[in-house]
């Protein structure tokens, strides 16, 4: 059976058992900040398992995309060390939500393994949680598993969570029964006891019996209903059906690995020249290739490029924290292995293309944004390759020094510098250190990294939306039907609420006109009015969560009690705020189209913010957009506004029709279902978008670009205004110009010529001031030289001077050096822009004859101003925050010189 056959057979089997077949959730969790990535099939059903949500089915089955890198389930460091661990994999799963329980799930699992996959029952072994007598009895008495094929494991009271599964530190959890497969019965008898050989006997299926919810204190609370969550690893099943010992030797990975090999052979014909491939790039002798020591590198690259590609296509981004940092680590680890194989430049983005082509039939979102994901990978690779040579050089220097000094570990400072300066994730440094027999001083590294990172963040009121007992149910009805496309007002009742304190609540409504933040557009605000028309609750925000649209509300009066939440409300969106927001949103679509037409059609959106006040648009581009291009873009958008194009909304369009027939652009990082909403501005823009928009481009009124800047490697940002905001900015600028004209005693028509005249006058005055300063410096320097102290034949001058610019201080120091005959050292001190500044000069004679260095002297003086500095042996500067320390630095300079001469 091929991997495709296994996927199809699994879904069909459970569909035949009345399970609803559902699509995979994105690997970037939606509305669950407790997870870095979707790490199990049950993530999308978390609220159903908790009893916070009901749907029109009690049985479901999926093939779920999973990433286990970071967090509780982290296999990143294990990839490449064996043939089973992955950071990305596909989990085949079936669920029961208060329906069947242990008996049915065990019976069906056994039936599927034996009668569909045709596995030998003699090669299957079972583990159960130590206290789960029920599951053990079903396996033993009803399925007929021999005692020697069964084992009890785990004890959560002692911290041993074997056969007790949870998706993270909090949330649904429970005992599980695991099914294992003996890959090599030909090795002889196998004793299934604790500590068994898990290289030979591989876990393939986990049946989790969800009974508890674990809170933040680690306490277990019974769930409202008992459920089943199972996970059968596709990669491992494919390995078994292919008769392999490694998942990387299956058809899931062969196309990726062959592509990587082909790129290597194309870039350097001498590398792997003895590995034969046919005219299509397929391996002629797979067994010989698998036996290569370098096959590990190909395996790591294949796994990591799948992870990065899927994560980017589901909305993740590279960054220096959280999910984005983990993604960056994965990419750089792949690059490091690629570098060892022989790649000298970016290559992963090309391998990413085969991931997209291989998986697009199963996961259409890859086809929609795969090119954009590859472009982000290329930009990230280029950034790392620019630093990798220097980083490796510094690592080799540090490692060789440690070995020469007979140290067994690298210092934390060395690892931190590689990380912070050259982007080397610590696990890469650790891998390189292991190759040289060195460990890492992790304690010192962690201390340095902790001070380097941001340590405080505001609390997200939406962060915990799934705790059992938090939500109070008022009405047992469907939640959050969104009607805000058609109306800004609707009659609604609160179905559930949660008190946050200080008169604030989170509430879910039977229906809502409030747009929940999505696709860059901020959530609506407004009010909930009682039956008498009085405002009872102010709606501050609306956010999407797995349990529905959550409204953050605040009581309008102090005396509103929780009984008032049971009323029937009129939900009203702030119409003016919505009007300004939709103007900015439609303007964003026009901006996107203009950018692609005027700057480059390879540009794609990589982030946005649409609020009532402004719009922000992030896009892929390697260089700044020129002022001429920005003007052309602005003029084009305003022309589209003046031309008054109707904005057409196509609702409930199949994704294939939207993209293939209508030419709609999928916005990178957004998640789409099988049916989509298309926003069309005829002749200008067609995009998949769930946001709210104006009916006609003329409703935008006016568009103005405020700024263009770089925000990350290969990512630019345009900030702009539309409608009232754009007009207000023009008026504010005009008012400023009129005020400047008044101050300069002219009018706005002659303001430019008046400014040019004043600049010329300023330049002339500055020249005169500089000349006067030179004369004063020349005169004063003569006095200082005549009063110089003699320290063992070296003329020493230390003085505090008053200047406005650093250049003046440097000129002063040069004058003193010119007038000193022979060996001399000078320290000048002054306050510039509120900071303490020191300049030190040493004559050539003092440097060559006495070994005095300006850098050493200025650093010794800088301790008095809480600073430090550096420079050349004959000229150095220092800055500090302690202005009061300038005089002590001057007073102690002679002693500093004397101490330096004595060394």
Sequence spans of domains, the chain: 3-248, 253-452, 472-573, 586-731, 778-902
Mean pLDDT, range 210-215, rounded to an integer: 88
In the prediction, which pLDDT does 33 show?
Answer: 63
In the prediction, which pLDDT does 461 show?
Answer: 44
User: Phi-psi bin for 655: left (phi > 0), alpha (psi -120 to 50), beta?
Assistant: alpha
Domain 472-573, what architecture?
Beta Barrel (2.40)
pTM of the model: 0.60
Looking at 409-565, list the stretches that DSSP marks H as alpha helix, in order from N- to C-terminal side: 412-422, 426-435, 442-452
Could you list the beta-strand ranges (E) of 637-696: 648-654, 675-681, 685-688
In the prediction, which pLDDT does 454 show?
Answer: 42
According to the annotation, is 589 in a ligand binding site?
A: yes
**Between these two residues, 140 and 79, which has the higher pLDDT value?**
140
In the prediction, which pLDDT does 524 show?
Answer: 96
Element (H, E) at 227: strand 220-233
Is 706 in contact with 716 (CB distance < 8 Å)? no
Please, which residues bridge with residue 686 across strands?
680
Picking from 7-21, 64-78, 259-273, which range would have the lowest pLDDT averaged per residue? 64-78
In the prediction, which pLDDT does 670 show?
Answer: 63
Looking at the predicted structure, is the pLDDT value of residue 850 above 50? yes
Picking from 342-356, 371-385, 629-643, 766-780, which range would have the lowest pLDDT averaged per residue? 766-780
Looking at the predicted structure, is the pLDDT value of residue 456 above 50? no
The size of the chain, in residues, is 903
Mean pLDDT, range 296-300, rounded to an integer: 92
Contacts of 662 (CB under 8 A, 6+ apart): 650, 653, 678, 680, 686
Q: What does CATH list as the number for 586-731?
A: 3.30.980.10
What's the CA gap between 442 and 410, in Å, rounded?
Answer: 9
| C-alpha distances in Å from residue 512, one per residue of 142, 507, 572 | 51, 11, 9
pLDDT band at 467 (very low <50, low <70, confident <90, very high): very low
Q: What does CATH list as the number for 3-248?
A: 3.30.930.10
In the prediction, which pLDDT does 44 show?
Answer: 80
Each residue of 141-187: pLDDT tens digit?
999 999 999 999 999 888 888 999 886 677 888 999 999 999 999 88
Looking at the predicted structure, is the pLDDT value of residue 325 above 80? yes
Q: Kind of pairing, strands 794-800 and 824-832? A: parallel
Longest CA pairwise span in the chain (Å): 107
Q: What is the CB neighbour count within 10 angstroms for residue 294?
A: 17
Q: Do domains 472-573 and 586-731 have the same CATH topology?
A: no
User: Phi-psi bin for 276: left (phi > 0), alpha (psi -120 to 50), beta?
Assistant: beta
In the prediction, which pLDDT does 31 show?
Answer: 60
Q: What is the CB neighbour count within 10 angstroms for residue 457?
A: 7
Looking at the predicted structure, is the pLDDT value of residue 422 above 70? no
How deeply is 800 buried, as exposed, middle or buried, from its count of CB atoms within 10 A (0-12, 13-18, 19+)? Answer: middle
Contacts of 505 (CB under 8 A, 6+ apart): 497, 498, 499, 537, 552, 553, 554, 555, 565
Extract the tokens encoding 900: 């330096």
What is the DSSP code string of 780-797? HHHHHHHT-EEETTEEEE
Element (H, E) at 81: none
Could you list the beta-strand ranges (E) of 502-581: 504-509, 511-512, 526-529, 535-545, 548-555, 568-573
pLDDT band at 843 (very low <50, low <70, confident <90, very high): very high
Mean pLDDT, range 403-432, rounded to an integer: 79
Extract the tokens encoding 141: 């008495």
In the prediction, which pLDDT does 269 show?
Answer: 58
Please, which residues bridge with residue 92 across strands?
63, 232
According to the annotation, is 585 in a ligand binding site?
A: yes
pLDDT band at 466 (very low <50, low <70, confident <90, very high): very low
Element (H, E) at 284: none
pLDDT band at 663 (very low <50, low <70, confident <90, very high): confident
Looking at the predicted structure, is the pLDDT value of residue 457 above 60? no
Q: What does CATH list as the number for 778-902?
A: 3.10.310.40
Give the mean pLDDT of the chain.
Answer: 86
In the prediction, which pLDDT does 525 show?
Answer: 96
Task: Residue 468: name the closest of 640, 636, 225, 299 by CA.
Answer: 225
Q: What is the CB neighbour count within 10 angstroms for residue 861?
A: 28
Each residue of 472-526: pLDDT tens digit?
888 877 667 899 999 999 999 998 888 888 888 889 999 999 999 988 899 999 9
In the prediction, which pLDDT does 465 show?
Answer: 40
Please, which residues bridge with residue 151 across strands?
127
Looking at the predicted structure, is the pLDDT value of residue 578 above 70? yes
Measured over the CA atoms of residue 599, residue 600, residue 606 and residue 612, the dihedral's sign is: positive
Mean pLDDT, range 286-292, rounded to an integer: 89
Please, which residues bridge with residue 220 across strands?
214
In the prediction, which pLDDT does 728 show?
Answer: 93
Mean pLDDT, range 272-294, rounded to an integer: 87
In the prediction, which pLDDT does 353 show?
Answer: 94
The alpha carbon of 94 is separated from its chain's Cα centroid by a whole number of angstroms, namely 30
Picking from 427-431, 608-612, 805-809, which range would have the lowest pLDDT averaged per residue? 427-431
In the prediction, which pLDDT does 459 show?
Answer: 38
Looking at the predicted structure, is the pLDDT value of residue 197 above 60? yes
Each residue of 366-377: pLDDT tens digit?
887 888 888 889
User: Phi-psi bin for 24: left (phi > 0), alpha (psi -120 to 50), beta?
Assistant: beta
Count Cα atoms within 13 angstroms, Cβ side, for 328: 21
In the prediction, which pLDDT does 548 show?
Answer: 79
According to the annotation, is 750 in a ligand binding site?
A: no
According to the annotation, is 689 in a ligand binding site?
A: yes
């Amino acid at each position: 059976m091929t991997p495709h056959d296994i996927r199809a057979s699994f879904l069909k089997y459970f569909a035949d058992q009345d399970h609803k077949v559902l699509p995979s959730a994105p690997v970037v969790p939606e509305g669950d900040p407790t997870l870095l990535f979707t790490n199990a099939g049950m993530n999308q059903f978390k609220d159903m398992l908790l009893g916070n949500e009901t749907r029109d089915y009690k049985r479901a089955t999926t093939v779920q995309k999973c990433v286990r890198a970071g967090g509780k389930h982290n296999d990143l460091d294990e990839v490449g060390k064996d043939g089973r661990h992955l950071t990305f994999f596909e989990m085949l799963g079936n669920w029961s939500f208060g329906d069947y329980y242990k008996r049915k799930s065990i019976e069906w699992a056994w039936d599927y393994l034996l009668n569909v996959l045709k596995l030998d029952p003699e090669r299957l072994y079972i583990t159960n949680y130590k206290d789960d007598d029920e599951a053990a009895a079903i396996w033993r008495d009803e399925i007929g598993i021999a005692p020697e094929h069964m084992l009890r494991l785990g004890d959560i009271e002692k911290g041993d969570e074997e056969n007790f599964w949870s998706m993270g530190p909090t949330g649904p959890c429970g005992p599980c029964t695991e099914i294992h497969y003996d890959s090599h019965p030909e090795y002889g008898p196998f004793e299934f006891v604790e500590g068994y050989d898990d290289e030979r006997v591989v876990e393939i299926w986990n049946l989790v019996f969800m009974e508890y919810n674990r809170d933040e204190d680690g306490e277990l609370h019974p769930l409202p209903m008992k459920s089943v969550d199972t996970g059968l690893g596709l990669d491992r099943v494919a390995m078994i059906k292919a008769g392999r010992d490694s998942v990387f030797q299956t058809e899931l990975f062969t196309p990726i690995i062959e592509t990587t090999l082909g790129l290597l052979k194309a870039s350097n014909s001498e590398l792997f020249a003895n590995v034969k491939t046919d005219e299509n790039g397929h391996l002629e002798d797979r067994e010989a290739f698998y036996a290569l020591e370098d096959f590990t590198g190909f395996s790591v690259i294949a796994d990591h490029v799948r992870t990065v590609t899927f994560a980017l296509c589901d909305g993740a981004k590279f960054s220096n924290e959280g999910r984005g940092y983990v993604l960056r680590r994965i990419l750089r680890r792949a690059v490091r292995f690629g570098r060892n194989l022989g790649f000298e430049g970016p290559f992963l983005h090309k391998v990413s293309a085969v991931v997209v082509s291989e998986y697009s039939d199963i996961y259409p979102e890859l086809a929609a944004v795969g090119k954009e994901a590859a472009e982000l990978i290329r930009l990230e690779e280029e950034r790392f390759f620019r630093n990798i040579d220097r980083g490796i050089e510094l690592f080799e220097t540090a490692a060789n020094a440690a070995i020469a000094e007979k140290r067994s570990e690298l210092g934390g400072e060395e690892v931190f510098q590689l990380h912070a300066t050259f982007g080397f994730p610590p696990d890469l440094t650790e891998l390189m250190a292991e190759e040289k027999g060195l460990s890492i001083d992790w304690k010192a590294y962690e201390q340095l990294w902790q001070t380097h990172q941001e340590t405080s963040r505001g609390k997200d009121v939406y962060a915990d939306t799934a705790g059992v007992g938090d939500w109070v149910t008022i009405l047992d009805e469907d939640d959050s039907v969104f009607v805000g496309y058609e109306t800004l007002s609707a009659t609604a009742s609160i179905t559930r609420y949660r008190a946050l304190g200080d008169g604030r609540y989170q509430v879910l409504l039977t229906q809502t006109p409030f747009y929940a933040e999505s696709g860059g557009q901020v959530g609506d605000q407004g009010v909930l009015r009682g039956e008498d028309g009085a405002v009872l609750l102010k709606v501050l925000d609306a956010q999407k969560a797995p349990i529905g649209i959550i409204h953050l509300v605040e009581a309008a009066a102090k005396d509103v009690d929780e009984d008032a939440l049971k009323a029937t409300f009129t939900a009203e969106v702030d119409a003016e705020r919505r009007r300004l927001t939709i103007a900015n949103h439609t303007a964003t679509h026009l901006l996107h189209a203009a950018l692609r037409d005027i700057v480059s059609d390879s540009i794609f959106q990589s982030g946005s913010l649409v609020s009532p006040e402004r719009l922000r648009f992030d896009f892929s581009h390697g260089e700044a957009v020129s002022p001429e291009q920005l003007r052309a873009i602005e003029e084009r958008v305003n022309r589209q506004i003046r031309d008054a194009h109707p904005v057409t909304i196509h609702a409930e369009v199949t994704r294939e029709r939207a993209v293939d027939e209508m030419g709609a652009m999928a916005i990178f990082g957004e998640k789409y279902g099988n049916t989509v909403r298309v926003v069309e501005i005829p002749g200008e823009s067609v995009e998949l978008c769930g946001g709210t928009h104006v009916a006609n481009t003329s409703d935008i009124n006016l568009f103005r670009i405020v700024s263009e800047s770089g925000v990350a490697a290969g990512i630019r940002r345009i900030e702009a205004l539309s409608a009232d905001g754009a007009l207000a900015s023009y008026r504010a600028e005009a008012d400023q110009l009129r005020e400047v004209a008044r101050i300069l005693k002219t009018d706005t028509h002659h303001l430019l010529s008046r400014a040019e005249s004043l600049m010329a006058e300023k330049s002339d005055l500055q020249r005169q001031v500089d000349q006067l300063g030179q004369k004063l410096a020349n005169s004063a320097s003569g006095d200082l030289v005549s009063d110089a102290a003699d320290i063992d034949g070296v003329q020493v001058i230390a003085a505090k001077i008053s200047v406005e610019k650093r250049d003046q201080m440097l000129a002063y120091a040069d004058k003193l050096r010119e007038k000193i005959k022979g060996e001399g050292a000078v320290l000048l001190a002054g306050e510039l822009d509120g900071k303490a500044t020191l300049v030190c000069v040493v004559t050539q004679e003092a440097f060559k004859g006495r070994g005095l260095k300006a850098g050493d002297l200025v650093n010794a003086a800088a301790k008095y101003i809480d600073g430090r500095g550096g420079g050349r042996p004959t000229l150095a500067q220092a800055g500090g925050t302690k202005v009061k320390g300038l005089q002590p630095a001057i007073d102690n300079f002679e002693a500093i010189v004397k101490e330096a001469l004595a060394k």
